[in-house]
Structure 1
Amino acid sequence: MAASASDSGLTPAQEERPRVLTGAASPGEEQYDPEGSGVRGTVRNADGSAVARAAVTLISQRGRQIGRSVAHADGSYVLDAPGPGSYVLIAGADGHQPQASTVVVGDVTLNHDILLTGTSRLTGVVRGSADGQPVPAALVVVTDVRGEVLATGRTGRLGDFTFSELVTGTFTLAVNAPGHRPAARPVEVDGQGVTRVEIELSAGARVHGTVRAVSGPLQDARVSLVDAAGNVVASSTTGEDGAYAFTDLDAGEYTVIAAGYPPVASALHVDGPGVDDFDIELRHPDE
């Protein structure tokens, strides 16, 4: 589909004109003489070091490729533009987060340095705290400081896990596995490279049972689990079979307290002969 004036301010003829491909070219790639102004600069890491072999591409606002360059050993690049206008500059390199920015080119070459953020790998192993054995199939979740999930995965047969392409920052690593208590810890990922961590999971104790009355299992009984300090660790309401269960418990001394509905007292006025209806509702205080 033919376009009139593009968003970059170029005529269709200008956009169709062959562009200069500056930097490393593929075998057999044709080179053209430079025309007009352009963009030049340096691609660097957050620590200021040059990013060699970074791919830098200049496109028009309509998405047409204007030029492509590969940064030299010192991180420098040069791209030619067909004329003044607004363009999009895209940069990317192995081990770095890609970046796109809008550049406005005038009659002279624009100096525009590019800062790429390096990515890192987070790898580690999950073990049981009691025996030190690997915990396979554990769910591992990485979240950022806002609590948003960035990556999830499961440990392998040897309890190992790996997450690639994480940017520098502080993250929370949460691990959960059947038969173990969940664990979470902060992880600091610094620059490029590999951050290694080891997570230990404690085996979670489980308590279950049945509350019975003389007539059989007692439904809707309130069961509370209290630790040695008197704190209510968990509470549960029995089902039709009178069963209750508590999971993911630390080893230690507990007290189990079971009770039916608390008593209800209501004032009642009876008027002469006949039958007066008076319904009573029993429930637990927090229902």
Structure 2
Amino acid sequence: LPRRSAAAPATAHAAAPGMAHATAPATAHAAVPAPSASVNEPVEGFWAGAPDGGVEIRGVVSGDDGRAVGHATLTLIDSRGHQLSRAVTLADGAYAIWTPGMGTYVLIASAAERDPQVATLVVGDQPVDFNLILTGSNKLAGVVRDLEGKPVPGAVVVLTDVRGEVVTTGTTDAEGSYSLSGVTSGGYTLAVSADSFRPAAVPVEVTGAGQTRQDVELRPGARIRGTVRVRDGGPLNDARVTLLDAAGNVVGTTTTGEDGAYAFADLTGGQYTLIATGYPPVADTVSINGRDDDDRDLWLVHSD
């Protein structure tokens, strides 16, 4: 393919609004692909190899780890969304693709197991050196099981970053499997919860492109439940129920509803103490003059 000198100054400039991984135009000493550095294909009768008046865009596609990304696909489209040419990078990540001439174009780069990138390029009459970085589209997957090794279906899986922000969520299938895609490299906390099990949280490190596996084991969660009743057997509404562990520490507190029911979940085995109380006493001062009725209402509430 015809080539312009790599040392020729590039008057065109490249802009990639919102694309943090699009690099600035490379300098003259940057790696420049050979004429065979990419495979150009004709599109709708237009030969993308070296059209008359065409300008070459060239560069290197690499990963966020700095390694070259081979077999990445580069697609060039115009401002109307029409495809103009296509190229594929070599093993060293080098590519070269031709434009019909000066103008504004959109370059799309994609590769397996990586997030695609899009850059807007303003091309003049000189070759444009433009490198791209494709971050790995990592996947976190695994199986949630109980202590007997049986899968736990319907478990909720939540992935949070180091700041505690939720990154993504999922649910295990009938086989207890989960899969969270689009996870970037870094450290996370994986939290899993399911009915009748104690919630679990494990640290996980996602590295490189591909799939990171993290299985999780859930322990069964004991539950205490019952009904608070008055002497005649009827349910007691708004009673305060407190659960203490063997050391006298408060494990939880709840208030009964109209049916008098209470429940404590996610408990470990051991000895506990249940304390049920009505309303705490209320005192008020009343002055009686001995001649008229003196109405005075009293309100019983739980102090928070």
Q: TM-score range by the shorter chain?
A: 0.7 to 0.9
Summarize the alignment of residues 166-181 of structure 1 with structure 2, pairs less than 5 Å apart: 166-181=183-198
What do you get for the CA RMSD once the two structures are aligned? 2.4
| Residue 156 of structure 2 is aligned to residue 139 of structure 1 | yes
Q: Deviations over 1:184-215 (max 9, x none)?
A: 22211100233121211110001012222223
Structure 1 distance, partners of 2:180, 2:154, is: 15
Summarize the alignment of residues 11-26 of structure 1 with structure 2, pairs less than 5 Å apart: 23-25=39-41
Summarize the alignment of residues 1-287 of structure 1 with structure 2, pairs less than 5 Å apart: 23-25=39-41, 31=47, 33-34=50-51, 35-129=53-147, 131-146=148-163, 147-157=165-175, 159-216=176-233, 217-286=235-304
Unpaired runs of 5+ residues, structure 2, are: 1-13, 15-37
Structure 2 distance, partners of 1:150, 1:60, is: 35
Residue 237 of structure 1 and its aligned partner are, at CA, apart by 1.1
Cα distance, 1:134–1:112 mapped onto 2, change above 3 Å: same
Q: Indicate if the aligned counterparts of 1:169 and 1:188 stay in contact, CA closer than 8 A.
A: yes
The residue type paired with residue 107 of structure 1 is D
Q: Indicate if the aligned counterparts of 1:120 and 1:168 stay in contact, CA closer than 8 A.
A: yes
Structure 2 distance, partners of 1:188, 1:199, is: 14
Residue 28 of structure 1 and its aligned partner are, at CA, apart by 9.7
Structure 1 distance, partners of 2:115, 2:280, is: 61
The residue type paired with residue 41 of structure 2 is A
Query: How many residues align structurally?
Result: 264
Unpaired runs of 5+ residues, structure 1, are: 1-7, 9-21
Percent of aligned pairs with the same amino acid: 50
The residue type paired with residue 126 of structure 2 is V
TM-score, normalised with respect to structure 1: 0.82
Residue 145 of structure 1 and its aligned partner are, at CA, apart by 4.1
Q: Indicate if the aligned counterparts of 1:125 and 1:155 stay in contact, CA closer than 8 A.
A: no
Cα distance, 1:199–1:255 mapped onto 2, change above 3 Å: same
Q: Indicate if the aligned counterparts of 1:140 and 1:155 stay in contact, CA closer than 8 A.
A: no
Q: Which moved more, 1:240-249 or 1:166-175?
A: 166-175
Q: Which moved more, 1:206-215 or 1:135-144?
A: 135-144
Where 2:215 maps in the other structure, the secondary structure is strand
